[in-house]
């Protein structure tokens, strides 16, 4: 199916690995031009190099960085049609999961909201004037099933993603009538570097449960989280939904939150 993205210009944050890398690759495959925003490029993003890809080095913890990244994309490609706010999860230097409400400090809370909410606010604020000039504009925010399913861990992360879901709905109400659709995708656990890197979620859960990282990744996490499919999702499975929502093929979808979560959310 042609997603009608040929020649469109997209900004993707957190684009060097995991879901963001998969989104970037898929948009390029669909003929879009992509400004890939990340602190470093990395070998996998470098492998996609070509005239339709621009890497924008950026630390989104810097309040000026989201707007600078958007402007760099418009400067390079002349327009903006799609904004994918994918960067999120543990802020630089932090590791998740964190167990218990008393564990994160005030600084942890501030950093979590800075990375997962305020950076999105700033990117959207910078992108809106350009998106309003597009004939098929779309914003896709990558949220999390944890934004809709509270639990006794990751309190700061869960609250930031719940706020992102609320922001997404509000933006859709204001801007969909002006031609800018805004949706979110809520993954469950995804087999990304957040899970697989040394010291990442798999190691933390293994340490907390007396297991080992391979057992966690190969079924332990899925069992603990009651994932219906019995496995963590892949980055590409999430990216496919993100790109579909970004596409003009989804012209009547706005204000939606789509779960790509292996059956993590049980609520109706």
175 is catalytic: no
Q: The tokens of 20 are what?
A: 């963001």
- Which of 157, 175, 194, 264 is flagged as catalytic? 157
Residues whose CB falls within 8 Å of the CB of residue 106, separated by 6 or more in sequence, listed in order = none
* Residue 53 to residues 12, 27, 40, Cα–Cα distance (Å): 11, 10, 14
The catalytic residue positions are 157
């Amino acid at each position: 199916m042609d997603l009608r993205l040929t020649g469109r210009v997209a900004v993707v944050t957190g684009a060097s690995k995991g879901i963001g890398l998969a989104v970037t690759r898929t948009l390029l495959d669909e003929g879009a031009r992509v400004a890939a925003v990340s602190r470093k490029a990395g070998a996998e993003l470098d492998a996609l190099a070509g005239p339709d890809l621009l890497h924008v080095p950026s630390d989104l913890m810097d309040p000026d960085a989201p707007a600078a990244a958007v402007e760099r994309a418009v400067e390079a490609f002349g327009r903006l049609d799609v904004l994918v706010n994918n960067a999120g999860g543990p802020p630089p230097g932090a590791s998740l999961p964190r167990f218990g409400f008393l564990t994160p400090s005030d600084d942890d809370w501030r950093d979590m909201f800075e990375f997962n909410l305020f950076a999105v606010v700033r990117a959207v604020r910078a992108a809106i004037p350009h998106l309003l000039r597009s004939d098929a504009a779309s914003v896709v925010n990558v949220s999390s099933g944890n934004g809709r399913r509270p639990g006794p861990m990751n309190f700061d992360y869960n609250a930031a993603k719940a706020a992102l879901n609320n922001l997404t709905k509000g933006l859709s109400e204001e801007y969909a009538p002006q031609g800018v659709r805004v949706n979110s995708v809520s993954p469950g656990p995804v087999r990304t570097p957040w899970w697989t890197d040394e010291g990442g979620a798999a190691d933390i859960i293994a340490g907390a449960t007396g297991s080992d990282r391979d057992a966690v990744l190969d079924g332990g996490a899925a069992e603990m989280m009651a994932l219906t499919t019995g496995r963590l999702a892949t980055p590409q499975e999430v990216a496919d939904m993100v790109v579909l929502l970004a596409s003009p093929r989804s012209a009547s979808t706005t204000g939606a939150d789509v779960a790509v979560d292996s059956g993590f959310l049980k609520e109706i």
